Amino acid sequence: MTTTTPPDLARPALLRTGTIAAVGALPMVGALYVVLPLGTEIGALPGASGAATALASTAFAVAYAVGILALGPLADAVGARRLMVASVAATAVVTACTAFAPSAIWFLTGRAAQGLAAAAFTPATLAYIARTAPVSARVRLNTAAIGAGLASAVVSQVSAQLIAPAGGLRGVFLAFAVGAALAALAVRTLLPVDAAPVGAAPSPTAVHGAIPGLLARPRLVLLYCTGLTFLSVLVALYTSLGADGRWSATTLLILRASSLPAVIVAGVLTLRLGGVPARVRILSAVGLAVAGALLCAGGATLAVGAGLFLLVGSIALAAPSVVAEVTRLGAPAVGAAASLYTVTIFGGASLGAPLDALLGGGLTTVALGGAAVLALGGLTAAIATRG
């Protein structure tokens, strides 16, 4: 099922793939984080409770994780590009509808529907890369897709914080709906169809039937455990940061935005570290992520900014190498393998707010607990990549 891009077409095709994967991830994955700075606006909705903001994040993340598992593997049956188009188009429509939610319950329902609609995009993108790109280019393309997804955590929060004073909750969601619609147009018109051999596509039943077999592979399961730690810690830290109360809105904006260049640095490093074994790349990056979380525990503004920069950059460096290993070990069911990995990533994101609460909600304790969680993920990666 896996094919490679012909050498004479590789350069322009790979450039388009990387660009569209990155740009598309911003509104699609960013939709998870966009509500984090909108607590006041969400709390003003009729019927909203004090937990409405946390529920808005969790409703999206849980539906996203379930949707990935149900819809993501269909990339192997219906084609990755076709699934990407369907996901971004549906997300544009649902996001626009959610912008006009008349009450908190309708808003939360819209958030769940939004998560379900967006769910297929990332696994379909990873499957598209695995199916169409030569092996030598996959880590770089995965870096573009996953790095942009991580960057969206910053971009979406900063965008929401800038749009909300004038446009409110509705303005923020309409802006994201437009972004998703433009992504749908770009995928549909600029990406070539993934070239699965005619008649070779498995049925949806067969695609989902591959999942138990993948979960029976110990190395894959251990790498999935590593992926589970990334966004759980990041979301927990962002949650505690916003609730801490010691920083002004402007300082919070700067702290959120300061980690964005880390994704770019990680992308450059990935290009230079292509010859380094995956084990070394993954374990080194996780070690740096632990150091970033420990820096955040200091609580000083400069330490938190540096810690977030190091944490986001390290995750952006580790995640593409992990997903490249996952799709390699999961072949030929690359769509199902990528979907399971994405479930763990965003399943981890849905655990971010509960992890924050479990650790007491204070920045220092959340950062220290997050460092321990990341270290555990490093241990599972070390075992998975051994030998």
- Asked, for residue 17, whether it belongs to a domain, the answer is yes
Residues 176 and 216 reside in one and the same domain: no
Q: How many domains does the chain have?
A: 2
pLDDT 10s digits, 28-49: 999 988 998 898 899 999 999 8
- Asked, for residue 78, whether it belongs to a domain, the answer is yes
Asked whether the predicted pLDDT for residue 186 surpasses 90, the reply is yes
Alpha-carbon distance 295 to 63, whole Å?
A: 32
How many other β-carbons are positioned within 10 Å of the β-carbon of residue 270?
22
Share of the chain above pLDDT 90, in %: 45
- Asked, for residue 87, whether it belongs to a domain, the answer is yes
**Based on the number of CB atoms within 10 Å of its own CB, is 9 exposed (0-12), middle (13-18) or buried (19 or more)?**
exposed
Token couple for 336: 């199902």
Residues 91 and 235 reside in one and the same domain: no
- Asked, for residue 3, whether it belongs to a domain, the answer is no
Torsion sign (Cα): 347, 349, 353, 358: positive
Q: Give me the mean pLDDT over the 210-236 stretch.
A: 91
6 pLDDT band (50/70/90 cuts)?
Answer: very low
Read off the CATH number of the domain in which 315 is found: 1.20.1250.20
- Asked, for residue 6, whether it belongs to a domain, the answer is no
Asked whether the predicted pLDDT for residue 3 surpasses 80, the reply is no
Token couple for 305: 């900014």
Q: Give me the mean pLDDT over the 225-231 stretch.
A: 93
Task: Among 195, 215, 242, identify where a domain stops.
Answer: 195
Rg of the chain, C-alpha, whole Å = 19
Residues 122 and 244 reside in one and the same domain: no
Per-residue confidence (pLDDT) for residue 311, from 0 to 100: 95
Cβ pair 267, 316 in contact under 8 A: yes
pLDDT 10s digits, 127-172: 888 888 887 788 788 878 878 888 888 899 899 999 999 999 999 9
Task: Give, in degrees to the nearest 5, the angle at Cα 300 between 288 and 295.
Answer: 15
Closest CA to 319 of 144, 189, 89, 155: 144
- Asked, for residue 18, whether it belongs to a domain, the answer is yes
Give the residue numbers spanning the domain of 125.
Answer: 12-195
Residues 159 and 281 reside in one and the same domain: no
pLDDT 10s digits, 249-268: 888 888 888 888 998 888 88
293 pLDDT band (50/70/90 cuts)?
Answer: very high
For the chain, the maximum distance between any two Cα atoms, rounded to a whole number of angstroms, is 60
Task: Among 141, 176, 195, identify where a domain stops.
Answer: 195
SS3 of 310, please? Answer: helix
Closest CA to 385 of 272, 284, 265: 284
Residues 145 and 18 reside in one and the same domain: yes
Asked whether the predicted pLDDT for residue 198 surpasses 60, the reply is no
User: What end-to-end distance do the CA atoms of the chain give, in Å?
Assistant: 27
